Amino acid sequence: MTSTPDPETLIDLRGVRFQHGPRVIFDGLDLTIRRGQVIAVIGSSGVGKTTLLRLVGGQLKASAGTVRVAGVNVGALDRKGLFALRRRMGMLFQQGALFTDLSVFDNVAFPYRENTDLPESMIRTLVLMKLQTVGLRGAADVMPSQLSGGMARRVALARAIALDPMLMMYDEPFTGLDPISLGMIGRLIRRINDAFGVTSIIVTHDLNESLLIADRVILVADRHVYADMTPDELRTTTDPFVRQFVDGAFDGPVPFHYPAPPLNEDLFDRAAPRH
Amino acid sequence: MQRLVIDVLGDLGAGATDGLARLGRAFLFFLRVLAASFVVLRRFRLVTAEMASSGVRSVLIICVSGLFVGMVLAVQGYEVLQRFGASESLGVLVALSLVRELGPVVTALLFAGRAGSAIAAEIGLMRATDQISAMEMMAVDPVSRVVGPRFFGAVFSMPLLAAMFSVMGVFGAWLIGVRLIGIDTGAFWSQMQATVDIRHDVLNGVFKSVVFGVATGLIAVFEGFHAAPTARGVSSATTRTVVISSMAVLFLDFVMTAWMFRG
């Protein structure tokens, strides 16, 4: 395993190809992420943004190219090596993915209990501190089913940062939140990144929020990284495709219609009915 | 016509290979669970927690069913036995039927419906709501943390539940045979005591229920763990758990009975 040339680089994807059945999701994808940055990954639904996170986390393997995290080739790791790497990563899932049979406290305590030999008294201190970070120390004894969507995500965030990861991955952290919770999660992501010296990748549809907190915005389209810009560059770019994304235009380079034969043909051509 | 025959044969072949592939995957999954057993059994508290949630909550249904099955056996058994003047043998008949067959088999069928379906649905929903993925991303193996405890919980619960079923069944038979019909209570118990053999009858029954525990436990965790992450996927996993478990239990029972009591 060779180390990356630049020690400031945390994540390095080179020529990554990923196929799901016959469908090619990525082909020749290159991406470099430096330590300490907040990166927002945007793109149309189904373009493979979540797949990108799963490649970095080693839940999926690239069919070609390399995925390196902290200089380690993720695809070449065995299960043990992968688990060792994952102890230094945190991931926030779309719906939080809290364990529904455990209380808020036990959810946050889970990584400590499973991955460390710390005594219960110390775990209690650590859990309460993490819950304090997300402002939910008072909800320690509540069950996840009693939490609102925003609160559940904050608890999941506390659980994800439990082992002080070097890399945080967020899968759609803003989806389905009210404006207050949304802003709160956004600021938390930035604060955790800067306070704990983390590197963060946010996969999101929410361009406004990501422009506020991200250092760089990456637009994934057409199976590779289409654009890699700072928020300021993104606001002023003239690239029609990126513009459509930024402005949320109805039709443009991204067509409104799913590919189909002409309407006339489909409606009136009785010779070859497709349905 | 020829086309139809080819289609039918093709479907048949595809179904057979699919089934075999699934069986193979289940076996590989079984090996994975066994490989994790050391880790699981060292944290026995997790297993007892599962025994509490799947085993203890099945106690009521097992006991009530055992009672009624014993009572029915007594009514039917007495009806036949008294024709031959052998009504005192009712205790033997009931005890042997329960310990050898009905205890393990009916318990396993009830357990598959009561606890197996719940295990499959729970694991399937954990998968559908990303809890399994989250666990993997936290460097925790879901097979040793989620699957293993539930599997061993089923394996350990089953013989205990089967024993309760048999005890309640004998009690039910005693209620009907001795208290209601009036068979001599001494003959009822002493014949049972003299005839039921600890190794040949009781231990064979225990062995059966352990095998059923392995089968129903494995089917439940396998179906749940491999459920499609949708509402329909979870519902079909629970259905399959109950259907496949029931058939597996009855099939395995025949195989083991033929082997244990071959003469």
Task: Summarize the confidence of residues A79-102 as an average pLDDT.
Answer: 91
Q: Which residues of A touch B136 (CB under 8 A)?
A: 59, 86
Residue ranges for chain B with pLDDT beneath 50: none
- pLDDT number for residue B167: 96
Residues in B lying within 8 Å of A, measured between beta carbons: 126, 129-131, 133-134, 136-141, 145
- pLDDT number for residue A245: 80
Task: Summarize the confidence of residues A195-202 as an average pLDDT.
Answer: 92
Digit-coded pLDDT (tens) for A215-267: 999 998 888 888 898 988 888 888 888 888 888 766 666 667 777 888 887 88
Q: Which residues 157-216 of A have a C-beta within 8 angstroms of B?
A: 159
Inter-axis angle of helices A149-160 and A120-133, nearest 10: 130
Measured between alpha carbons, how far apart are the two ends of chain A, in Å? 53
| pLDDT tier for residue A5 given thresholds of 50, 70 and 90 | low
State whether B138 and A111 contact (CB < 8 Å): yes
Average pLDDT, whole number, for chain A? 87
Long-range contacts of A74-81 (CB under 8 A, 24+ apart): A76/A1
State whether B133 and A59 contact (CB < 8 Å): yes
Q: Record the tokens describing residue B142, joined without a space.
A: 């879901």
pTM here?
0.86
3-state secondary structure of A9: strand
Report, in angstroms and rounded to the nearest whole number, the Rg of chain B calculated over CA atoms: 22
In whole angstroms, what is the distance from residue A92 CA to residue A153 CA?
A: 8
State whether B131 and A89 contact (CB < 8 Å): no
Digit-coded pLDDT (tens) for A160-178: 999 999 999 999 998 888 8
State whether A98 and B131 contact (CB < 8 Å): yes
- pLDDT number for residue A46: 79
Q: Which residue of B has its CA nearest to A111?
A: B138
Q: Which residues of A touch B130 (CB under 8 A)?
A: 93-95, 97
Q: Which residues of A touch B141 (CB under 8 A)?
A: 83
State whether A59 and B130 contact (CB < 8 Å): no
Which of A93, A167, A170 is the best substitution to test chain B (most B C-beta atoms within 10 A)?
A93
Q: How many CB atoms lie within 10 A of CB A87?
A: 16
**Going by C-beta distance under 8 Å and a sequence separation of 6 or more, which residues neighbour residue B189?**
B91
Q: Where are the domains of chain A?
A: 9-268
Q: Which residue of B has its CA nearest to A159?
A: B138
Digit-coded pLDDT (tens) for A108-122: 999 999 999 999 999
Chains A and B form CB pairs within 8 A to the count of 48
Q: Which residues of B touch A83 (CB under 8 A)?
A: 139, 141
Q: How far is CA B234 from the centre of its chain?
A: 21
Task: Summarize the confidence of residues A182-186 as an average pLDDT.
Answer: 89
Higher pLDDT, A214 or A5: A214
- pLDDT number for residue A4: 47
Q: Where are the domains of chain B?
A: 36-260
In whole angstroms, what is the distance from residue A83 CA to residue A58 CA?
A: 9
**Going by C-beta distance under 8 Å and a sequence separation of 6 or more, which residues neighbour residue B239?**
none
3-state secondary structure of A239: coil
Smallest Cβ–Cβ distance between A57 and the set B126, B130, B137 belongs to B137
- pLDDT number for residue A7: 78
Digit-coded pLDDT (tens) for B70-79: 999 999 999 9
Q: Which residues of B touch A156 (CB under 8 A)?
A: 134
What letters, b where the CB count within 10 A reaches 16 and e where it falls short, cover A106-141?
A: bbbbbbbeebeeeeeeebeebbbebbebbebbebbe
Task: Summarize the confidence of residues A195-208 as an average pLDDT.
Answer: 90
Task: Summarize the confidence of residues A9-37 as an average pLDDT.
Answer: 90
Q: Which residues 99-128 of A have a C-beta within 8 angstroms of B?
A: 99-100, 110-111, 114-115
- pLDDT number for residue A251: 66
Q: Which residues of A touch B133 (CB under 8 A)?
A: 59, 93, 97
- pLDDT number for residue A1: 45
In whole angstroms, what is the distance from residue A163 CA to residue A27 CA?
A: 33
Domain A9-268 belongs to what topology? Rossmann fold (3.40.50)
The DSSP result for B36-86, as a single string, is: THHHHHHTHHHHHHHIIIIIGGGHHHHHHHHHHHHHHHHHHHHHHHGGGT-
- pLDDT number for residue A274: 57
Give Cα separations from A10 to A30, B85, B86, B134 (angstroms): 14, 87, 84, 22
The DSSP result for A134-193, as a single string, is: TT-GGGTT--GGGS-HHHHHHHHHHHHTTT--SEEEEESTTTT--HHHHHHHHHHHHHHH
